[in-house]
Amino acid sequence: MIGRLKGTLVYKAPPWLLIDVAGVGYELEAPMSTFYDLPEAGREVVLLTHHVQKEDSVALYGFLREAERRLFRDVQKVSGVGAKIALAILSGASVEDFARLVQTSDVAALTRIPGIGKKTAERLVVELRDRAADFGGGMPGGSTLPAAGADPLAEASIALQQLGYKPVEVQRMLKTAEPGDRAEDIIRKALKSMLRN
């Protein structure tokens, strides 16, 4: 099992990363909470990982902080929640915000995260409420990719759609973008605006 990678960040385009570790390129999916704090391409990065091997696929997920990886693992123990929804949760809310939503039973806010309906939100609240206070702790720590240097607005649009938002929702969310924003900034603003509305 792969638990940690230290290498050069070769490429990043939400939700995908490519890390070169001693000449081997590892492709990972990562939540936006990790993307916000990544260095520029060409710099060294250390990522905690979650490795999944199934009969027909292998997937690797990367996180900068242990709290993110732990939440990613914990939410998947809830019936109906898989890796895609777990990534959407971490992309739409910080670990602390998610813990607050669960503790306050804010089902309405949870249903704004792509892939989470009312029943799944209620299950998250019921099954994770007792553990939500512990989420914040921890040590620091096959999709088409847009071309490098692509238009930040287009890159943000693709990333939001890969997170599960419908094109109509994405267009509404992208209205928060300002000239000069990087793709990461646009995505962060869009996700925060969606969580507030």
Range of the domain at 81: 66-134
Q: What is the DSSP string of 40-83?
A: -TTSEEEEEEEEEE-SS-EEEEEESSHHHHHHHHHHTTSTT--H
One domain for residues 124 and 108: yes
Q: Is residue 142 part of a domain?
A: no
Chain segment 74-132, per-residue pLDDT in tens: 999 988 888 888 998 888 888 888 888 888 888 998 888 888 889 999 999 988 887 77
One domain for residues 33 and 45: yes
Report the pLDDT value the prediction gives residue 91, as an integer from 0 to 100.
86
Is the pTM higher than 0.75? Answer: no
One domain for residues 57 and 105: no
Q: Is residue 78 part of a domain?
A: yes
Domain boundary among 39, 63, 87: 63
Question: 126 in helix, strand or coil?
Answer: helix
Report the pLDDT value the prediction gives residue 190, as an integer from 0 to 100.
84
Domains in the chain, number:
3
One domain for residues 71 and 130: yes
Report the pLDDT value the prediction gives residue 197, as an integer from 0 to 100.
65
Report the pLDDT value the prediction gives residue 146, as an integer from 0 to 100.
39
Regions of the chain with pLDDT less than 50 = 137-149
